[in-house]
Structure 1
Amino acid sequence: MTTYNEQPSRAALPPDVPGPHSKRLGIIAVVATFGGLLFGYDTGVINGALEPMTADLGLTALTEGIVVSILIFGAAIGAVVGGALSDRFGRRHNILLLAILFALATIGCVLSPTWPVLAFFRFVLGLAVGGASATVPVYLAEVAPAERRGSIVTRNEVMIVSGQFAAFVINAIIFNIWGENPGVWRVMLVVAVLPAIALFIGMLRMPESPRWLVSQGRDDEALAVLQQVRTPERAQAEMAEVHELAEEERASKTAGASDLGVRWIRRLILLGAGLGMFQQFTGINSIMYYGTQLLGDAGFSDQAAIIANTANGLFSVLGITVGLLIMNKVNRRTLLLGGFALTTFFHLLVGLSATLLPDGPAKAWFILVFVVLFVFCMQGTIGPLVWLLLAEIFPLKIRSLAIGISVLVLWLSNAVVSLGFPVVVESLGIAPTFFIFVALGVLALIFVYRSVPETRGRSLEDLEEQFMRQYS
């Protein structure tokens, strides 16, 4: 029987005590997570910009769907390409390129004269979004000490949901000021240039990942980076551990795509792909993209649905904030099981409310409450945990490539659910749609219980040793 709480086989590292290095680590985390902010804003801004965009560019229902969904397909490709580039050229280098791509693609969207041009630049923007989703969590995980890795990596998810919420709020403000202007959607989109500039300037002063530097044989540079974000004793000890593992990896030729044929690595990638798929099969992005439409179908007026939908953004931020506070206090596996249990429960309540309650305000309000509670639980557990686990479970030499494959599956699952959700609701209704989510939630619980290991408090190097023994 597999156990998930084996003790580390390597010698214990000196404790991560507070000091000047802690401030430096905090600054690195803030700057890098501007990539998450851009991720969130660029995926959320279309919600409020779509109506004036449709009027200005003469979009049909088909071209609306293309403009909205093409970013997701771009993100799926960007996750794989971004992961490979990150492995080859470095995490920091990749984030700098992504900042430039975010800015250029945003400006292209703002200046688009026709919908095909807009769709092209939305696709390019999706490449940046996907690249950020595959690179930023890895960079944070490799810079952070094991004791703080959960809270540091989860900050990226905080910035993602904050970016989505900011998009909802900024769209509402801009629309109230310039709503009569047919080009108001361009103002909504151009706001994203500001965090892209901040990300680029900030990353110019940030260090490269020490673990990536070791993988390139640049030991002196890696030690210098660790000394910026650790105590001197901890930096030396951690450097020795990373270097030892890098030597083992070089000896075993664990170095790239060819290793997808190695049984234990293949099983880890299937695990990562499954986590990404089931995260999206909760339907979270259906709510973030179509929440207003769902609440309208539940019985709210159009104006009330728009206002009520802001609660999804607010509770998304509150959920991730709670998740950040408890991430390093509860085992990852326990929290993930609890998250899927709660989200499946609230899916069931939404479906039962839609089935059993008569049409009217009470039905609409019950569905709103259960949807908001679903969003809160999802963003406090499954949302950040999946990104954190993806940053933890893969061996150093193929970490970004493997995360790229996993995030590709995540984005394609996102695309399937996001494209299918309005069609399924229209053809089957709210209740059957959420009962489908219930069934998917039960499958997710079985998958997590049987397959997901515990990673809290373990060094990335020790986890790799465990997986090698466990899955070989």
Structure 2
Amino acid sequence: MSSPSTTPTALSPEEISALAQNTPPSGKKRSVKFVALAATLGSLLFGYDTGVISGALPYMQMPQDGGGLALTPVEEGLVGFFLLIGCAFGALYGGRLSDKYGRRHNILLLAGIFLVGAIACAIAPNLIILYPSRFVLGCAVGGASATVPVYLAETVPKRIRGVLVGIDQLMIVTGQLLAFIVNAVIANITGGPDVVLAEVEAGTTAKINGVETALQAGQMYSWDVLNSIDPSLFTIDSGNGNTWRWMLIVCSIPAIALWISMRMMPESSRWHAANYQFAEAIGCLKRVRTEDDNIEEEFTEMVVARQSQEEEEKLSLKQILKVKWLRKLLIIGALVGIFNQTTGVNTMMYYAPKVLQQAGFGTQAAITLTVLTGVASVIGSALGLYLLNRFSRRTVLIGGTVGLTTMLAVLALVFHFGITPYLEADNMAAMPTFIPYLVVVAIIFFMLFMQSGNAPATWVIMSELFPSRVRGVAMGLAVSCIWISNAIITFAFPPIMDVVGPTGTYVIFVVINIIAITWMVKVVPETKFASLEELEEQFEEQYS
């Protein structure tokens, strides 16, 4: 049932009380858990679409005759780069759209873009089609990253806001784990990457399982083996390179579920209040609150906050930058997001098989072992929910960053002393068998610290940092900074690994994270112990 809009005039306490008591719910009651589950399907898609590429790339790198796309290192970087540039674009403009048309409306739109982007990527015949398809899919991922945390923060009660917004991060890593599992299952079903040879020059051999073996036409061989051989010595008849298409198409299923479930959800009550639609705000609020919740008090906070801004228009990004305290919040939010990416987390997500191959594992084994990092991420995110409820946002953020920085240092040491000497001597067979597993263990603990500390605290802090009238625009810019830095790191990681090696690469990340920790200790504010409206008053006073 819809109530008429209330015009933006001053409301007395009696009018506020009357609205709170007399306005009926705008539709069927929805539990907060159901709201969180529905909205965070967008985060599940976010996780799947960013995680799936790690298992798809080895098949994309195969020759076209074998079903792949014959990616060069630069083209490999561009596959991730275009998605992430799309993410930056989607986060920036998705935030603006959610401010203008509503959080729920935006998530419904994103569900459609997820579906179109997933199908377009899966059926792309070449890179000319794949790159723009990845950009479109990235727009949906970026839009979800900017909109879903805001929708949750504005919809759930203050007492569980941190926990349920943290569930958003849990669903992201669950999506990544789902991608890793799907990748591993499909890779183990199809095998590979494998190709069947059509012709082979006489006398051509390859080392298979440590034995020099003559290659034969009509036989299937691992592309890991053939990739190191002069391609002029053989031709390919067929292969299982199309495996990557099956990995990418799976995310169309949760996209459909997201659209269906969000059709049953209310709009954000705080979005209605920010747009002077007070009757609609109370109607939506009543759909997601129980009789034990003090609806009138919460509604009063919204109305008072909105009325205090009646003489002010919603600010554009240019206008936000002219207001000292808003500019300060924007800088803090952007840097929290950027330092979330300079942890190196997405080098683990996108290039985990590549890192594990550097450590001595084969492609199929590396794809399978990546599942362990996904499991660690989910466990870490579940732990993060407890930590966010138990400790302050700052404590969780800084503690997690210290832990993951330690693991980066461990990775640098393992590569420097345990793996690089054997790589340089071209004698990996002599390397002790336990050393590659030290890399796996270090990555697992890195993901535990990341997902239980830095990651959930980053998203919760950003969702609570900005005033409602600029939240969409400011959150969009902050998340765009995340995706732009992510894109730069993703594109730069392979050449940096080639130039300075794994040891040097992880030392760089250690140094950057030490800088980040120092800044967090000195600058990042606490957001846990106040309502969103109280935080706005506090920040305006503190930073003006």
TM-score where L is the length of structure 2:
0.80
Q: Report the equivalent of 2:167.
A: 155
Q: Report the equivalent of 2:333.
A: 272
Residues of 2 paired with 1:145 and 1:282: CA distance? 31
Larger radius of gyration: 2
Contact 2:152 2:165 in 1 (8 A): yes
Which of residues 287, 309, 312 is equivalent to 2:370?
309
Indicate yes or no: 2:406 matched with 1:334.
Answer: no
Q: Following superposition of structure 1 onto structure 2, how do residues 127-166 of structure 1 map, counting pairs within 5 Å?
A: 127-166=139-178
Residues of 2 paired with 1:342 and 1:290: CA distance? 21
Residues of 2 paired with 1:23 and 1:363: CA distance? 51
Q: Following superposition of structure 1 onto structure 2, how do residues 41-440 of structure 1 map, counting pairs within 5 Å?
A: 41-55=48-62, 56-61=67-72, 62-179=74-191, 181-232=240-291, 234-253=294-313, 255-257=315-317, 258-357=319-418, 359=422, 360=431, 361-440=433-512
How far apart are 1:305 and its partner, in Å? Answer: 2.9
TM-score where L is the length of structure 1:
0.92
How far apart are 1:369 and its partner, in Å? Answer: 1.5
Q: Report the equivalent of 2:40.
A: 33
How far apart are 1:154 and its partner, in Å? Answer: 1.1
Q: Report the 3-state secondary structure (helix = DSSP H, G, I; strand = E; otherwise coil) of the residue aligned with 2:310.
A: helix
How far apart are 1:218 and its partner, in Å? Answer: 1.0
Contact 1:36 1:163 in 2 (8 A): yes
How far apart are 1:254 and its partner, in Å? Answer: 5.0
Contact 2:337 2:481 in 1 (8 A): yes
Query: Any gaps of 5 or more consecutive residues in structure 1?
Result: 1-20
Residues of 2 paired with 1:339 and 1:31: CA distance? 28
The amino acid that maps onto 1:29 is: A
Residues of 1 paired with 2:314 and 2:521: CA distance? 28
Contact 1:256 1:397 in 2 (8 A): no
Q: Report the 3-state secondary structure (helix = DSSP H, G, I; strand = E; otherwise coil) of the residue aligned with 1:250.
A: coil
Corresponding residue pairs, total: 452
User: In 2 relative to 1, CA 89–321 (structure 1 residues): closer, same or farther, beyond 3 Å?
Assistant: same
Structure holding more helix per residue: 1
Q: Report the equivalent of 2:230.
A: none
How far apart are 1:57 and its partner, in Å? Answer: 4.8
Residues of 2 paired with 1:40 and 1:418: CA distance? 16
The amino acid that maps onto 1:212 is: W
Q: Report the equivalent of 2:18.
A: none
Q: Report the 3-state secondary structure (helix = DSSP H, G, I; strand = E; otherwise coil) of the residue aligned with 2:276.
A: coil
Query: Any gaps of 5 or more consecutive residues in structure 2?
Result: 1-27, 192-238, 423-430
Q: Percent identity among equivalent residues?
A: 42
Q: Report the 3-state secondary structure (helix = DSSP H, G, I; strand = E; otherwise coil) of the residue aligned with 1:291.
A: helix
Q: Which runs of 4+ in 1 moved over 6 A?
A: none
Contact 1:78 1:128 in 2 (8 A): yes
**CA deviation profile, 1:100-141 (whole Å, cap 9, x unmatched):** 111111111222222211111111000000000000000000
Contact 1:328 1:456 in 2 (8 A): no
Which of residues 507, 525, 529 is equivalent to 1:453?
525
Contact 1:146 1:457 in 2 (8 A): no
User: In 2 relative to 1, CA 178–304 (structure 1 residues): closer, same or farther, beyond 3 Å?
Assistant: closer
The amino acid that maps onto 1:237 is: E
Contact 1:57 1:115 in 2 (8 A): no
Residues of 2 paired with 1:111 and 1:254: CA distance? 42
Structure holding more strand per residue: 2
**CA deviation profile, 1:312-359 (whole Å, cap 9, x unmatched):** 111111111111122111111111111111111111122122223364
Give the alignment's Cα RMSD to 1 decimal.
1.8
Residues of 2 paired with 1:49 and 1:350: CA distance? 25
The amino acid that maps onto 1:391 is: S
The amino acid that maps onto 2:129 is: V
The amino acid that maps onto 2:366 is: A
Q: Report the 3-state secondary structure (helix = DSSP H, G, I; strand = E; otherwise coil) of the residue aligned with 1:328.
A: helix
The amino acid that maps onto 1:425 is: M
